[in-house]
């Protein structure tokens, strides 16, 4: 064991800045400085870090194996030792997380576990990760690579004992509220690894309170951003840093403890690495770090070959971000509606590799839902680790098995540092929704039905806000109750109700009492919300709702964030999408008087049509089917509904067992009237007394005979009501040609995608048999908005990328993407000779009878 102190208080306390506090680190630092005087870098064998990184990329590209490791020598020759080393590292990462999260004070970290650690190679590839928000497997990788690519070795220098922070999305993050701490780990004058930790903080100092404000149009309202900054040396934070960041947030005490949390974890990881090196030697540690990634790369492909089918999978998802008429927008030009269009194409290639493309995605917008490549890549890992690689061998090896195409200038890869990203998840998680279905189609064909899931997408609402709280302090809130949503239906079971969120695999709504300690928003009720899960043979998991009031505040703001006019959770195999969101607030209420008089008051809004809420409260009630609002003033005894969404359904609802529908009613998952309408199940009320965990009072029974009859009639009605697709196609084509009954927001979205992508435009025109020059007629406002954004151009963060990062930047609008675009009828990946080939090369000649 190392003898160095690792206590966090010691780390950040001035009384422990004496040299003798960290003798080993001091010796390492002296050694590094001696080597630098002789012109040697901090990489292995005297290389600079950038030289080492470029050599690794070259070897990986030339051999097709990570770092050229075509053999897993350690694993093959000493498999037990290999597994022991990896398990020890992984265990130490998990321990670091479990221990350090107790340092934090926010329920976000302490209750929800919004914390994750990673161990990275000197080049920034993750070797192993902890549990938690493993979206950051790759975001921290990108931050390290950014530092290497921008010559941090020269300035500000990377030395033993240094501490770096990053939350710049364009460097490597999902959004600015995920703040990461990175420390380099040295041995014998060489950089051998990085330890990194990241957590979701409660407030980033954005223009509105909360970690993910939604009213800003650009980065300049997103909150404080720290671009891969050195904030300390000798494991001691700079005085300048300690005097800087606390004033850039409304919740400085929480952020200080968050930082101590991350430092604690990183130092525990540093110690763990040193222990491993002491036990096995540095060369074996280096060997393990390379092999673990190559092993991860191979493991991913093996799993794909074992459980999926090669071929092409496609889908599309949409989500609304409606800003027209919203108050408190930071720019007049942001007063418009945006819709996300995410065409999703996955090729599972003959070698088991993944090729993922979003070609056709529309332009970024003046909203905080834009994404960077690191965000998109992070998003895929948090999903894949819950299905394709549900084991401990999670690292950047999987990244090396995937090719991504994220169109430059789209919402998925803005390459423009002016764009806002505070709640990138709104688009990101919705855009990945089809990926679940791609995988599920593969699992179905292969027979692994126990793995099928209809999809898990948008999981808001996000209750956020802030002001002067119950302790008379400036405060901000961000309720992570949303870490506990209904999830998509499985093939073999219903989706889990109020269970998890895809971005946080642990899933916990948090204790109401704990939320009430940090939020001046007492709970009036918390209950399962009916009809939130999509209908199907297997129903989507139900979401839930919390009715909150406000108490002992001044100048308090709250707002909503989620989908409203669109649902981004599609169903599978005949299942229906999950329900979309709505907003319910009440201001100037008589709640106080009701409490005093012990009168009824609303605890729920289980059925928005029932009028029950309105019957139990007087006040100014706002009810609208939208998902997003900008910060609004709330006062004591005002009310706010926090509605957490459900998952999507799977299979034809007429095939659901009627007894299961009855249970749904009794459990509060389905309103009785929808048993008949959505499932063709006839139920009768047999008792007014509630005997179950029901949202609807009373006891019901299935009328089996009437149900059988109704189901027969419903099938017959389907045939009568539906029309052949060929007929529908002709009507629809004429409608599009004539631009009938399509609203401006929709046409603007299509135009945006067509202007972004020559390939999508060709597909759209081909499919609907439109003239080659076809374009939609837009309103003056929509045209101006598109022109404005397209003319904004690029403003890239990465000035000096190495080759692997240039691939993001080299694809122009009319170029063929590296990941083949095959939505048009004349293209298939089977026309390409190798997994690396693209349609920009001459197509293979089709064999003829003359050959």
Partner 1 sequence: MPESYPREHIEDLVDDNLEWNQLHDMMSDYKDADRFQKVRDVLQERVDWDDPIIIPYAEHLYVVAKPDDRWVIKCDCGHEFCEHDENWKADALINVRDSEEEYLEIYPEDMHPHPDYMELREFFCPGCNTLLEVTNVMPGYPLIHEFEPDIETFYNEWIEEPIPTA
Q: Which of residues 318-347 bind partner 1 (CB under 8 A)?
A: 318, 320, 339, 341
450 binds partner 1 (CB under 8 A): yes
Region binding partner 1 by CB under 8 A among candidate stretches 126-134, 161-169, 512-520, 558-566: 558-566
For the bound state, the minimum distance from the C-beta of residue 310 to partner 1, rounded and expressed in Å, comes to 4
Region binding partner 1 by CB under 8 A among candidate stretches 37-45, 138-146, 471-479, 823-831: 823-831
DSSP string, 279-348: HH-HHHHHHHHHHHHHHHHHHHHHHHHHHS-SEEEEEEEEEEEE-TT-SS-SSGGG-SEEEEEEEEEEEE
DSSP string, 530-563: TT-SPPSSBPPPP-EEEEEE--S-EEEEEE--S-
Give dist(CA 470, CA 393) in Å, integer. Answer: 45
77 binds partner 1 (CB under 8 A): no
Region binding partner 1 by CB under 8 A among candidate stretches 211-219, 559-567, 787-795, 842-850: 559-567
Tell me if residue 22 falls in helix, strand or coil: coil
For the bound state, the minimum distance from the C-beta of residue 746 to partner 1, rounded and expressed in Å, comes to 5
Q: Among residues 164, 358, 503, 573, which is the contact residue for partner 1, using CB under 8 A?
A: 573
Give dist(CA 226, CA 759) in Å, integer. Answer: 37
Nearer to partner 1, 16 or 714 (CB): 714
Q: Among residues 338, 441, 604, 789, which is the contact residue for partner 1, using CB under 8 A?
A: 441
Contact residues for 693 (Cβ-Cβ < 8 A; gap 6+): 528, 666, 667, 668
For the bound state, the minimum distance from the C-beta of residue 825 to partner 1, rounded and expressed in Å, comes to 9
Record the tokens describing residue 133, joined without a space.
């928000």
Nearer to partner 1, 446 or 592 (CB): 446
Region binding partner 1 by CB under 8 A among candidate stretches 240-248, 418-426, 722-730, 842-850: 722-730
Site for partner 1 in 752-811 (CB under 8 A): 763-764, 767-768
Nearer to partner 1, 721 or 799 (CB): 721
Give dist(CA 629, CA 328) in Å, integer. Answer: 10
Site for partner 1 in 732-751 (CB under 8 A): 732, 735-736, 741-743, 745-746, 749-750
The distance from CA 577 to its chain's CA centroid, rounded to whole angstroms, is 19
For the bound state, the minimum distance from the C-beta of residue 259 to partner 1, rounded and expressed in Å, comes to 37
Record the tokens describing residue 66, joined without a space.
């990570």
Region binding partner 1 by CB under 8 A among candidate stretches 16-24, 112-120, 159-167, 827-835: 827-835
Give dist(CA 570, CA 650) in Å, integer. Answer: 9
Give dist(CA 317, CA 563) in Å, integer. Answer: 12
Report which DSSP code applies to 624: E
Burial 663-675 (b: 16+ CB within 10 A, else e): ebbbbbbbbbebb
Q: Among residues 9, 33, 63, 492, which is the contact residue for partner 1, using CB under 8 A?
A: 492
Question: Residue 826 — left, alpha, or beta (φ > 0 → left; ψ -120 to 50 → alpha)?
Answer: alpha
Region binding partner 1 by CB under 8 A among candidate stretches 10-18, 64-72, 403-411, 573-581: 573-581
For the bound state, the minimum distance from the C-beta of residue 708 to partner 1, rounded and expressed in Å, comes to 15
Number of alpha carbons in the 13 Å side-chain half-sphere of residue 143: 37
Give dist(CA 589, CA 613) in Å, integer. Answer: 12
448 binds partner 1 (CB under 8 A): yes
468 binds partner 1 (CB under 8 A): no
Full 3-state SS string of 210-227: CCCCCCCCEHHHCCCCCC
Residue 60: CB atoms within 10 Å: 21
Give dist(CA 684, CA 706) in Å, integer. Answer: 11
Question: Residue 846 — left, alpha, or beta (φ > 0 → left; ψ -120 to 50 → alpha)?
Answer: beta
839 binds partner 1 (CB under 8 A): no
Do the beta carbons of residue 161 and residue 22 sit within 8 Å? yes
H-run or E-run covering 169:
helix 169-172
314 binds partner 1 (CB under 8 A): yes
430 binds partner 1 (CB under 8 A): no
Nearer to partner 1, 107 or 649 (CB): 649
For the bound state, the minimum distance from the C-beta of residue 401 to partner 1, rounded and expressed in Å, comes to 16
Q: Among residues 71, 473, 718, 795, which is the contact residue for partner 1, using CB under 8 A?
A: 718
316 binds partner 1 (CB under 8 A): yes
Nearer to partner 1, 197 or 672 (CB): 672
Do the beta carbons of residue 329 and residue 218 sit within 8 Å? no
For the bound state, the minimum distance from the C-beta of residue 480 to partner 1, rounded and expressed in Å, comes to 23
Report which DSSP code applies to 485: B
Site for partner 1 in 381-410 (CB under 8 A): 390
Site for partner 1 in 344-363 (CB under 8 A): 348, 350
For the bound state, the minimum distance from the C-beta of residue 767 to partner 1, rounded and expressed in Å, comes to 4
Residue 847: CB atoms within 10 Å: 7
For the bound state, the minimum distance from the C-beta of residue 723 to partner 1, rounded and expressed in Å, comes to 6
Q: What distances in angstroms separate CA 245 from CA 165, 256, 517, 622, 670, one per listed residue?
A: 11, 9, 24, 37, 48
505 binds partner 1 (CB under 8 A): no
719 binds partner 1 (CB under 8 A): yes
Nearer to partner 1, 467 or 653 (CB): 653
For the bound state, the minimum distance from the C-beta of residue 296 to partner 1, rounded and expressed in Å, comes to 17
Site for partner 1 in 595-654 (CB under 8 A): 607-609, 623-625, 650-654
Q: Among residues 87, 514, 517, 677, which is the contact residue for partner 1, using CB under 8 A?
A: 677
847 binds partner 1 (CB under 8 A): no
620-624 β-sheet, strand order? 523-528, 544-549, 639-644, 583-587, 620-624
For the bound state, the minimum distance from the C-beta of residue 758 to partner 1, rounded and expressed in Å, comes to 16
The distance from CA 516 to its chain's CA centroid, rounded to whole angstroms, is 26
Question: Residue 775 — left, alpha, or beta (φ > 0 → left; ψ -120 to 50 → alpha)?
Answer: beta
Place of tokens 């265990």: 91
Nearer to partner 1, 514 or 716 (CB): 716
Burial 753-792 (b: 16+ CB within 10 A, else e): bbbbbbbbbebbbeeeeeeeeeebebeeebeebbeebeeb
Runs of H (alpha helix) within 350-493: 373-384, 425-431, 433-446
Q: Among residues 716, 784, 788, 812, which is the contact residue for partner 1, using CB under 8 A?
A: 716
446 binds partner 1 (CB under 8 A): yes
For the bound state, the minimum distance from the C-beta of residue 276 to partner 1, rounded and expressed in Å, comes to 28
Site for partner 1 in 180-239 (CB under 8 A): none
For the bound state, the minimum distance from the C-beta of residue 770 to partner 1, rounded and expressed in Å, comes to 11
Nearer to partner 1, 258 or 494 (CB): 494
844 binds partner 1 (CB under 8 A): no
Nearer to partner 1, 469 or 569 (CB): 569
Nearer to partner 1, 478 or 648 (CB): 648
678 binds partner 1 (CB under 8 A): yes
834 binds partner 1 (CB under 8 A): no
312 binds partner 1 (CB under 8 A): yes
Region binding partner 1 by CB under 8 A among candidate stretches 192-200, 213-221, 310-318, 373-381: 310-318
Give dist(CA 774, CA 651) in Å, integer. Answer: 37
Query: By rule CB under 8 A, what string of x and - marks binding of each residue 268-307 to partner 1?
Result: -----------------------------------x-xxx
315 binds partner 1 (CB under 8 A): yes
């Amino acid at each position: 064991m190392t003898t160095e102190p690792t206590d966090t208080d010691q780390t950040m306390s001035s009384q422990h800045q004496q040299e003798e506090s960290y003798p080993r680190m001091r010796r390492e630092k002296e050694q590094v400085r001696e080597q630098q005087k002789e012109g040697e870098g901090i990489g292995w064998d005297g290389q600079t870090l950038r030289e080492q990184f470029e050599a690794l990329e070259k070897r990986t590209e030339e051999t097709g194996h990570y770092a050229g490791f075509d053999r897993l020598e350690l694993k093959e020759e000493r498999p037990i030792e290999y597994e022991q080393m990896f398990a020890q590292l992984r265990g130490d990462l998990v321990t670091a997380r479990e221990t350090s999260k107790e340092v934090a004070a926010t329920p976000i970290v302490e209750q929800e576990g919004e914390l994750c650690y990673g161990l990275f190679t000197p080049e920034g590839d993750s070797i192993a990760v902890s549990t938690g928000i493993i979206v950051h497997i790759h975001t921290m990788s990108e931050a390290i690579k950014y530092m290497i690519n921008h010559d941090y070795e020269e300035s500000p220098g990377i030395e033993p004992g240094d501490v770096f922070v990053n939350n710049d999305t364009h460097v490597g993050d999902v959004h600015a509220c995920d703040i990461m701490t990175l420390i380099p780990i040295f041995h014998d004058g060489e950089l051998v690894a990085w330890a990194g930790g990241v957590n979701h903080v409660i407030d980033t100092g954005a223009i509105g309170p909360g970690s993910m404000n939604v009213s800003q149009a650009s980065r300049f309202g997103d909150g404080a951003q720290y671009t891969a900054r050195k904030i300390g040396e000798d494991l001691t934070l700079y005085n300048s840093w300690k005097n800087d960041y606390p004033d850039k947030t409304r919740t400085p005490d929480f952020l200080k403890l968050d930082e101590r949390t991350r430092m604690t974890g990183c130092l525990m990881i540093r110690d763990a690495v040193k222990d491993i090196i002491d036990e096995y030697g540095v060369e074996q540690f280096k060997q393990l770090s390379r092999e673990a990634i190559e092993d991860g790369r191979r493991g991913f492909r093996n799993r794909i070959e074992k459980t999926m089918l090669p071929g092409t999978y496609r889908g599309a998802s949409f989500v609304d971000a409606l800003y027209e008429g919203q108050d408190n927008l930071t720019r007049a030009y942001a007063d418009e509606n945006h819709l996300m269009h995410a065409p999703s194409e996955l090729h599972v290639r003959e070698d088991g590799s993944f090729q993922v493309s979003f070609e056709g995605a529309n332009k970024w917008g003046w909203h905080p839902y834009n994404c960077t490549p690191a965000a998109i890549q992070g998003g895929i890992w948090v999903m894949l680790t819950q299905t394709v690689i549900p084991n401990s061998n999670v690292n950047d090896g999987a990244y090396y098995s995937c090719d991504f195409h994220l169109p430059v200038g789209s919402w998925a890869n803005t390459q423009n540092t002016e764009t806002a990203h505070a709640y990138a998840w709104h688009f990101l998680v919705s855009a990945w929704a089809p990926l679940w279905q791609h995988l599920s189609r593969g699992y179905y064909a292969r027979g692994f039905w126990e793995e099928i899931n209809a999809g898990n997408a948008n999981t808001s609402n996000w209750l956020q806000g802030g002001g002067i709280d119950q302790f008379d302090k400036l405060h901000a809130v961000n309720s992570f109750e949303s870490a506990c949503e209904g999830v998509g239906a499985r093939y073999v079971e219903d989706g889990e109700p109020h269970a998890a969120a895809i971005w946080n695999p642990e899933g916990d709504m948090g204790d109401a009492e704990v939320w009430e300690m940090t939020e001046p928003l007492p709970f009036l009720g918390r209950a399962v919300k009916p009809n939130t899960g999509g209908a199907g043979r297997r129903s989507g998991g139900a979401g839930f709702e919390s009715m909150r009031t406000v108490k002992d505040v001044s100048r308090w703001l709250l707002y909503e964030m989620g989908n409203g006019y669109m649902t981004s959770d599609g169903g599978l195999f005949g299942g229906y999408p999950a329900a979309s969101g709505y907003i319910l607030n009440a201001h100037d209420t008589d709640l106080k008087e009701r409490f005093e008089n012990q009168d009824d008051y609303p605890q729920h809004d289980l059925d928005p049509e029932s009028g029950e809420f309105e019957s139990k409260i007087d006040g100014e009630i706002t009810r609208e089917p939208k998902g997003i609002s900008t910060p609004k003033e709330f006062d004591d005894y005002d009310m706010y509904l926090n509605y957490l969404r459900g998952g999507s359904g799977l299979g034809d609802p007429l095939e659901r067992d009627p007894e299961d529908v009855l249970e749904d009613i009794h459990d509060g998952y389905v309103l009785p009237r929808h048993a008949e309408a959505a499932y063709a199940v006839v139920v009768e009320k047999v008792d007014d007394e509630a005997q179950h965990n029901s949202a609807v009072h009373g006891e019901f029974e299935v009328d089996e005979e009437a149900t059988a009859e109704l189901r027969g009639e419903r099938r017959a009605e389907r045939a009568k009501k539906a029309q052949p697709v060929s007929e529908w196609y002709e009507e629809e084509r004429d409608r599009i040609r004539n631009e009938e009954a399509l609203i401006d927001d929709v046409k603007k979205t299509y135009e945006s995608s067509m202007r972004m992508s020559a390939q999508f435009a060709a597909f759209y025109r081909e499919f609907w048999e439109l003239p080659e020059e076809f374009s939609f007629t837009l309103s003056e406002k929509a045209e101006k908005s598109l022109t404005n954004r397209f003319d904004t151009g690029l403003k890239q963060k990465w000035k000096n990328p190495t080759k692997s990062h240039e691939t993001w930047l080299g694809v122009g609008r009319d170029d063929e993407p590296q990941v083949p675009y095959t939505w048009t009828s004349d293209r298939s990946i089977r026309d390409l000779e190798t997994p690396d080939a693209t349609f920009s090369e001459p197509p293979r000649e089709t064999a003829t009878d003359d050959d």
